[in-house]
Structure formats: C-alpha cells, structure tokens
Structure 1
Amino acid sequence: MIIKNICVNDELANGVTGRIVDYIENNNSQVSHIKIKCDSANVGRLHRISCPYCHGHDTICVTREIDTIDQQDNSFQSKKGIKQFPLRLSWAMTIHKAQGITVDQVVISTKDFFGSGMGYTALSRVRTLEGLFLIDLHFDKFYCNENIDRVLSQMKEMKRKQPIFQQSSNYLNILSHNIEGLKCNFNAFRNHHLTQNADLICLTETWLSYKNLINKFDMNGYHLIHKSRSSSFSNDHLLHSQKRGGIAVYYRDSISVQEIDSCEHLNLEHITFELLKEKIIIVNCYRSPQQNKTEFLTNIDHHLKEIGIERKIILIGNLNENSLSEKSKPIETKLNTLGFINIYQNLPTTNNLTSLDCLYCNFTLKQNHHKGIGVTYYSFHDTLMFSINNECQINNSNHEIEYNYVEKMEVDDTVPAPSPIVNIPKKSYKRKNQSNDDISNKIFKNTTISTTTDETTNAMTEKQIIFLQNVNDIIEKSILEKSSTTLTLDEQLSIIGLKKVKILGDGNCFFRAISHQLCRNETNHKTIRSTTINYLIKNKDKFAPFIDDTDSTIDKYIKRMSRNGTYADHLAVSAAAVTINKNIIIHEIGKKPLLIPGSDFIDNQLHVCYYPDKLHYDSVLCIDNNSGFLPFQDILST
C-alpha cells in the first residue's frame, strides 16, 4: 500500500494498493525504484507517459522519499531523516483508508467496528452482493449517530412545484416576454420548455423591421403576427425612425383569432386580436421609455374604448412603468379607473428587480387561474406565465369585486384578489448588470404574499389550532434562565448574533416589521394586513373559538383588525405567518424565542422582537444585516 500522496491528480495517493513486480537498481547496486502493478488500472496514467521504466506497461514506479523523524520530545531538536520508500505490506485495509474506493470483492470483519456509520461505509465499498464476504457479523456494531433523526427533521422536503401551464383543453396558457431581439435569441426562445407549452405567446421588443424575412422565425404548430415599430407610428413621429421596438404574437394552429385594427392610425405599438372561442380580446402592447406617458395614455384609452370597454380584455406587455416604485404611476392609475387590475402587481419581472412587465385584466378571475414568473438567461426581462380557465370566468368589472370587508378596511383598496404562491428560482448570470435602484426588494422577489391553496390552508390551520390552543402554556414556558434576565434585549439578541432594527410605532408596527423582513422597507404593511384579513375571512369558522371578550365575535374582530393602526395580536400574527409561508420567530426580553408556525420548513424564518409594555414590534436581523436564522433546538414551539 502506498502510504503517502505522491501525485493526487494521477491517483497516486495514500491508500492505493497493488503488487510489487520488479526492482530497479542504480549504478551502485542499490534499489532506486520499485515497480508496482496497482489494483486499479486508472492509477498512474500520467506517470507512464514520462517514466522510461513504465512507458508501455501497466505499472508505476515508486522512489525513495525523505521521511523526517517525528519529534515527540521537544528537547530533541535535530532534524535527522532517512530516505525510504512510502510503501508498507498490506494484507488488509482499515475502513478509514477504504473510504472513497469501490471494489469487485471485499472481505470484512465486523468485530472491531467502533463509531457510527462504520458498518455502512464498509458494506458500501463493494459493487455487488456476490462480491461481499463477511468473516463475522456483530449486529450491535451497526448503528447511526443519535443526532440523525434531529438533522433529518430539519432537512427540506423535496416537493414538486405546481406547474403554471395546465395541460387541459379548458385552459388557455399565455406567455408574455420582452425578448430584446427575436433574431439573436430565436433559437433559445424556440427551444425553451416554457415556449413549447404555451398556447399564446406575446412578444415585445422583437427589434425586427420589414426588411427582415419574417418567415425565418416561423415555429411548427404556430401562426405568427408581427408588427414593426415604424408601422406603428406616423412618419412625423419621433419613434417612427428609431430602431428596435416591434411586437409579435404566436398562436397555436388550434386557436381561432381575429385581428382587430383601429379605425384611425394611433401612435401606439400594439397588436390587438380576439380569441373567437374564448371571446377574450388580447392587446399585446409596448411603450418605449421615449414615448410620453400622456400621449400613450390618450391613445390606449381611445383604443380600449373603441374596442368596447365592457368586453373581456387582457392588456399584456411591457409598459415601462415600475409598479414597485413609490413614485406616482399614472398608467396604472388610469387603467385602474377603467376597471383594469395588474395581475402581476408587486412582482419583480426584470433582472434588477423592477416590475415593468404587466398583465392587466378588466374582468373578474375565479380562483382556478394560475400565474408565475419564468426566468431566461438571454434577456433582461423574465417571462410572465398565465393560465386561465376560459370556461369559468365572468364579465363583472373589477370595480365591483372585492372581499366582504374591503370597503370598510382602512388599508390599500387596490390590492387584487390573491392567487396561489409561485416561487420561481432566479438566475444571476444574465448579460446585463444589476442596478441598485430596487435592491431593497431582493428578498421580496422570492416571497409572494398571498393566500394559500385549500390543501395548504387545511394543513396549516391544524398547526395554527394547536398553537392557539397552547399559546398561553407556551408563553409561560418561554422564560430563560435567571442568569439571562438581567440582560437588555439588545444584549440578549447580540449573544445569538442578531440585532434589532427600529420600526415606526403607529399601530401597524407588526405588519411594518414583516414588510421590513421581506423587502427591507416598511411600505408593504398595508398589503400584508389586507392578505392577513382575507385569510381570516376565509377561515373565520376555525378561528372563531379563539375570540375573547374584547370582540365577542369573529366578525367584530375582523372588522376591528381591518382598520389601519390596529395593533396585531397572536391571532393576527398566526394568520400572517401562513399568508407569507414563513415561521415567525418572536424575541422578547428574558424569554426564549417563540415560533409562530407558518411553514413546513424550519429554515423559512422571519424574526421580530416584541415589547409587551409598549405593544410594539421591531424587525430583527443578523449582525451582518442578513436574514436571521435559529436552529430548531433554540426555538420554543408546539
């Protein structure tokens, strides 16, 4: 056995075994090389290229190397050494040495096993059961580490994400994408699995003109409609002669559409058509950043009213207005007044986490529609995926559809009806640099606030019920040891690597703290309160038993909790945890951190601290400003 790493890249490493086949002597009749035929033919392939003794053979040579004497006695300072071959006789091998090798046959003795996992390591070295020979078998020598169960309980469960596009004739699968050049990205776009599952594909910024041969961009099974930028604007318009722009629509052969043209020429980059079977009008639209918003709004308003605002219309595309911005949004405001709601409001759709791409709808969507964001490597923009059940939608205007309590709620009245959570993993290797404009929304990118599906709701409600039934007992057990009660909350947090971040105390502090945890600012507190109330409304029968004398009924509780500035209690905190799919960890001075269940995964955590004397919440982060995390054993839970 070789007992030293001679050349790891050539697999000449400690633990390699073989048979001595020859000796090579020098001019002084001393052995200078020992030739070995290794058990593995892969060992020494590079060595055989340059070694004159092994070239053309299946052997390797081992030479003498200096082996410094161990200096166990500190007083022994001399560095005496001898030259020796790094080999030793090997009739057997320890399991430690055998880690990483695979053999055809192995003979194992189990009587001297010690430590967890040794039996597994030994048995798993052999390729087949027929090649395994046991000299003895001691069952008590095979055991696992006692922490295995605890570690396994903290591991993420692999779950398949619910696909957005539905494989049913009752659903229409729509894909929208700012492709930033159909010609240069056509092969990637055509072969993308999302493209192949879409019934209707709406593209903006094709960068094609009439000079391009459009038939070069045909796809099997689809029809193509394309409109260049120059054909969308009058000759005297600023954008008429500008390059880029352009819009296109691909629709499947099985879909019947009728293109709709305006009665007069509008300076509007759009393709409008009606889906004849579904009786839905699609307006695929692009607004260049160089086009004045006032002009765009005038033209789009004229076009929509010409179509008939009472009809079912989906306005889709890239309007270059960031819905995540705190600045005024005239396009969104105008479309809201016309009865349109952006289904992708507050969802980042670009590489720098802005929300420029949109899908506005002027009719009410039932809960059986699906939406999501799909990543691409070739464009600055992500794709919008939308699957709509074309048999179950209704014509009611979005102005008339809200939850029962929304009219009375002193929160954001423009929040659309929530939809199922869809988390799409982001990729960071796109070709454009990320800007710092909306860097505060990074965490919010992967945490969509919404109500859960019925299946998840039932499962999480059971956890909530257990928590709410035992919350008083849990709080009593949360007292830390007396030695820690003299610490301030800041000191208590710093011991475990955390710090608090101050939150505005206006009665909305809990929802502001959660907003800060998700997107590093407090501005989304109204949306979080609204979705929490919606969840309570849908599950009020299950929450009703936990209402105390303050409100007497669940309806009165919901009405009070809906008001802006109402402090959140344990009932609202528990509901909020489910809507954001996070375990909320509450820190309080002198008490062990308390887990409010909201997720099946222990590492899905948000941290806040609570001051019972002030009825106030602050946000909690790591010292390095990253999100906080505590292992399961350090948290108090049901």
Structure 2
Amino acid sequence: MLTRNIDIQNGLVNGAFGILLRVVYSENDQHIIKLGLKMDNETSGKNNRTPADDMVYIERAEENLKQKGVVRRQFPVKLAFACTIHKVQGMTTTSAVVSLKSIFEPGMAYVAVSRVTSLSGLYLLDMEEKKIFTNPEITAALENMRQANLDDMMPLLHVRQTLSRSDVFTIVHHNTEGLPAHINDIKSHHELCLADVLCLTETHLRGSFVAESLHLENYNLFKRNRHLSYTNFPQMANRSGGGVAVYVKSDIQVHEKQYIHNVTDLEFLALKVEAPVSALIAVVYRPPDYILRPFLKNLCKQTNHGAV
C-alpha cells in the first residue's frame, strides 16, 4: 500500500494498493533505488507506467523529522495484506473480504461493506448483527425531524405565479465567487433567470472588457470592478477577486449613478430605476479582510451624505 500522495491526479495516493513485482538496484553500489508495482486499480498511475512492463516505479521519499538535522529516506510503501476500515474510507473495489470482529464505532460496518460495487463481491467474516449499528443520536435526530409534505414543495422547474405577475418586481442577490466560473450555472438556474434585477457580488472581473459569454439574453449588465472601488486602501484595490455587477432586464428603464459625491473605499454599484417602478438599488460588497468597524463607519458616512 502506498503511504503518501505521490501523484493525486493519476491515482497514486495514500491507500492505493499494488503488488511488488520488481526491485531495481543501482549499478554502482547495488543499493535499491526503485520499486516496481503493479497497481490493483487499472487507472492508478496510468500516466506514470512504463510501456515495457506496465508497472509504476516508486522512488525513495525524503522527509525532515522533528529532531534537528535528522532526515528519513524510505520508500512510501508498506505491506498491506489487510488494512483498517478507517484507511479504506472512500475506496471503491469490485471485491473485498470484510471482518466485523473489531468493530468499535457506529457506522464502521457500513463503511466497510459499502466499499464494493456489488453484493457478489462482498465476503463477510466474523458476522455479528450487533456489530452493525448506528449512532443513537442520529436515530433520535431523524425521529424528531418534521416530515416533509411533497405536495407543498416547489418542483425544481416550476415557475411560481408570483414571479411572473406584472405587478411584482423581483430583485435577487447572489454571491457568485467568480462570475466567469459560474455564468453557466446562473444561465440555467430556474429562479435566477426570472429576476427583474439580478445583483451579484464577488464577480472577480478585471478590466473594462466583458466577454460575450458573460452577457445574459434580454438583460443589460452594469459592473464595477474592485480596482475602481478604493482610494485610501491601495492594497485592497490591487488584490484579485471582489467586484459587483447587476443584470437588469432590457425593458426596465434604469441608469447607473456612476459618480456619487464622497463615496470612496466601498465596492458598490448604485442604480436608479425609473420604470416600471421607482427605486434606488445599491449593491455593496465587504471583503472578509475589510474590518467591519471601519467598513460600517465608511458606509454610514456615505449614507449620511445622501449617497444612497
């Protein structure tokens, strides 16, 4: 079994199994320099295998120990004719022999027997029904949960009548954590696409150019990037991320209040809606490292000046 993550993308991870088929020695001093493994999982180490023998070769790993100046060099493998249930959490295999003899925690038996892809590949040893048990707190919590009435739940693609009424003006706010990365999620969301005004924070947009893929059909886009939002905090203005944006349906009369007196050091966007309703919409984002007290002080100062 491998005992450390060597190449996560290729499945050579801590807990991966293989058979030792070859030991490679140095030509000079006959020290062992590599171990050749045939991995149990056909996809593990696929990009690391040698074409000649279809094996994965593991080299020594070096690790600094707590003792000053002490370095340990060893191959990150160990014998594993069997392994603990905790070690195989997350593993998937076609067959396994599971011993329930030493079960001592709730849920351990479930973790063990659920590693296989079919019942035909599961072999049980030391079978005792009392070893298969759950945490009593979980059972109590489930019993106390209110039963959901499926008749009262909104189906995933159901359009609520209140969102399609002409006398309802719908404003939605959402933290995107990166608009380019999640624009397709927004376009396909069954409720976000019903908003008259969609306010977004943490857009992570940079520069003045907006890619065509970031435009929503039948919406106009207004945005303010982070680097334009700070005057007295240049360290925040130069950081990536942040930014706000607002999508407004094309049939809504709106204009952006681009220059508001005394408004500095806030990531914000202010829009004046003229029709079909009259409203002033302000979207404000506070970065996690913007200390709350000065942020609120600055926000209140701008509000008192009539900015919002």
Using the size of structure 2 for normalisation, the TM-score is 0.51
How far, CA to CA, are the matches of 2:55 and 2:139 in structure 1? 47
Q: How does 1:155-174 map to 2 (within 5 A)?
A: 157=148, 159=150, 161=152
How far, CA to CA, are the matches of 1:431 and 1:129 in structure 2? 52
Larger Rg: 1
| Higher strand proportion | 2
Check the 8 A contact 1:378/1:430 in 2, yes or no: no
Give the superposition deviation at 1:150: 3.9
What SS does structure 1 have at the residue aligned with 2:22? strand
Check the 8 A contact 2:245/2:269 in 1, yes or no: no
> Which residue is equivalent to 2:108?
118
**Which letter does structure 2 place at the counterpart of 1:159?**
L
What SS does structure 2 have at the residue aligned with 1:151? helix
What SS does structure 1 have at the residue aligned with 2:87? helix
> Which residue is equivalent to 2:170?
349
What SS does structure 2 have at the residue aligned with 1:125? coil
Q: How does 1:189-338 map to 2 (within 5 A)?
A: 317=166
How far, CA to CA, are the matches of 1:193 and 1:113 in structure 2? 47
> Which residue is equivalent to 1:86?
76
**Which ranges of structure 1 fall in alignment gaps of 5 or more residues?**
49-53, 72-76, 165-191, 203-315, 318-343, 353-373, 383-427, 441-638
> Which residue is equivalent to 2:132?
142
> Which residue is equivalent to 1:130?
120
Check the 8 A contact 2:170/2:195 in 1, yes or no: no
CA offsets per residue over residues 101-150 of structure 1, 9 Å max, x none? Answer: 11111111111111110000011111111111112112222211121034
How far, CA to CA, are the matches of 1:435 and 1:138 in structure 2? 66
**Which letter does structure 2 place at the counterpart of 1:6?**
I
State whether structure 2 residue 59 is matched by structure 1 residue 59: no
**Which letter does structure 2 place at the counterpart of 1:19?**
I
> Which residue is equivalent to 1:289?
none
**Which letter does structure 2 place at the counterpart of 1:35?**
G
Give the superposition deviation at 1:163: 6.5
How far, CA to CA, are the matches of 1:126 and 1:87 in structure 2? 23
State whether structure 2 residue 21 is matched by structure 1 residue 31: no
Q: How does 1:208-607 map to 2 (within 5 A)?
A: 317=166, 344=167, 347-351=168-172, 375-377=191-193, 380=196, 431-432=247-248, 435=270, 437=280
Check the 8 A contact 2:172/2:192 in 1, yes or no: no
Give the superposition deviation at 1:435: 4.9
> Which residue is equivalent to 2:5?
5
The change in CA–CA distance for 1:114 and 1:158 in structure 2 (over 3 A counts) is farther
The change in CA–CA distance for 1:84 and 1:142 in structure 2 (over 3 A counts) is same
Give the superposition deviation at 1:37: 0.8
**Which letter does structure 1 place at the counterpart of 2:17?**
T
Give the superposition deviation at 1:13: 1.0
CA offsets per residue over residues 337-378 of structure 1, 9 Å max, x none? Answer: xxxxxxx5xx542447xxxxxxxxxxxxxxxxxxxxx73538
How far, CA to CA, are the matches of 1:78 and 1:156 in structure 2? 60
CA offsets per residue over residues 178-226 of structure 1, 9 Å max, x none? Answer: xxxxxxxxxxxxxx986xxx9xxx9xxxxxxxxxxxxxxxxxxxxxxxx
What SS does structure 2 have at the residue aligned with 1:22? strand
How far, CA to CA, are the matches of 2:54 and 2:42 in structure 1? 7
CA offsets per residue over residues 539-587 of structure 1, 9 Å max, x none? Answer: xxxxxxxxxxxxxxxxxxxxxxxxxxxxxxxxxxxxxxxxxxxxxxxxx
CA offsets per residue over residues 242-296 of structure 1, 9 Å max, x none? Answer: xxxxxxxxxxxxxxxxxxxxxxxxxxxxxxxxxxxxxxxxxxxxxxxxxxxxxxx
What SS does structure 1 have at the residue aligned with 2:247? coil
How far, CA to CA, are the matches of 1:435 and 1:118 in structure 2? 55
How far, CA to CA, are the matches of 1:115 and 1:379 in structure 2? 49
**Which letter does structure 2 place at the counterpart of 1:118?**
M
Give the superposition deviation at 1:31: 1.7
What SS does structure 2 have at the residue aligned with 1:104? coil
**Which ranges of structure 2 fall in alignment gaps of 5 or more residues?**
174-189, 199-243, 249-267, 272-279, 284-308
How far, CA to CA, are the matches of 1:115 and 1:31 in structure 2? 41
Give the superposition deviation at 1:42: 1.3
Check the 8 A contact 1:24/1:33 in 2, yes or no: yes
**Which letter does structure 2 place at the counterpart of 1:110?**
L
**Which letter does structure 1 place at the counterpart of 2:12?**
L
Check the 8 A contact 1:351/1:434 in 2, yes or no: no
> Which residue is equivalent to 1:99?
89
Check the 8 A contact 2:3/2:77 in 1, yes or no: yes
Check the 8 A contact 1:378/1:431 in 2, yes or no: no
Check the 8 A contact 1:107/1:135 in 2, yes or no: yes
CA offsets per residue over residues 513-543 of structure 1, 9 Å max, x none? Answer: xxxxxxxxxxxxxxxxxxxxxxxxxxxxxxx
How far, CA to CA, are the matches of 1:143 and 1:376 in structure 2? 43
CA offsets per residue over residues 49-77 of structure 1, 9 Å max, x none? Answer: xxxxx1465321110112445x5xxxxx4
How far, CA to CA, are the matches of 1:10 and 1:64 in structure 2? 18
**Which letter does structure 2 place at the counterpart of 1:5?**
N
The change in CA–CA distance for 1:6 and 1:139 in structure 2 (over 3 A counts) is same
How far, CA to CA, are the matches of 1:155 and 1:7 in structure 2? 45
How far, CA to CA, are the matches of 1:10 and 1:160 in structure 2? 46
**Which letter does structure 2 place at the counterpart of 1:60?**
V
Tell me the C-alpha RMSD between the 2 structures.
3.8
The change in CA–CA distance for 1:58 and 1:13 in structure 2 (over 3 A counts) is same
The change in CA–CA distance for 1:117 and 1:376 in structure 2 (over 3 A counts) is closer
The change in CA–CA distance for 1:435 and 1:120 in structure 2 (over 3 A counts) is farther
State whether structure 2 residue 147 is matched by structure 1 residue 151: no
The change in CA–CA distance for 1:193 and 1:112 in structure 2 (over 3 A counts) is closer
How far, CA to CA, are the matches of 1:117 and 1:380 in structure 2? 48
Check the 8 A contact 2:98/2:123 in 1, yes or no: yes
How far, CA to CA, are the matches of 1:155 and 1:17 in structure 2? 44
**Which letter does structure 1 place at the counterpart of 2:137?**
N
Q: How does 1:36-51 map to 2 (within 5 A)?
A: 36-48=37-49
What SS does structure 2 have at the residue aligned with 1:431? strand
> Which residue is equivalent to 1:302?
none
What SS does structure 2 have at the residue aligned with 1:119? helix
The change in CA–CA distance for 1:131 and 1:3 in structure 2 (over 3 A counts) is same
How far, CA to CA, are the matches of 2:34 and 2:145 in structure 1? 54
**Which letter does structure 2 place at the counterpart of 1:26?**
S
- How many corresponding residue pairs? 191
Check the 8 A contact 1:41/1:58 in 2, yes or no: no
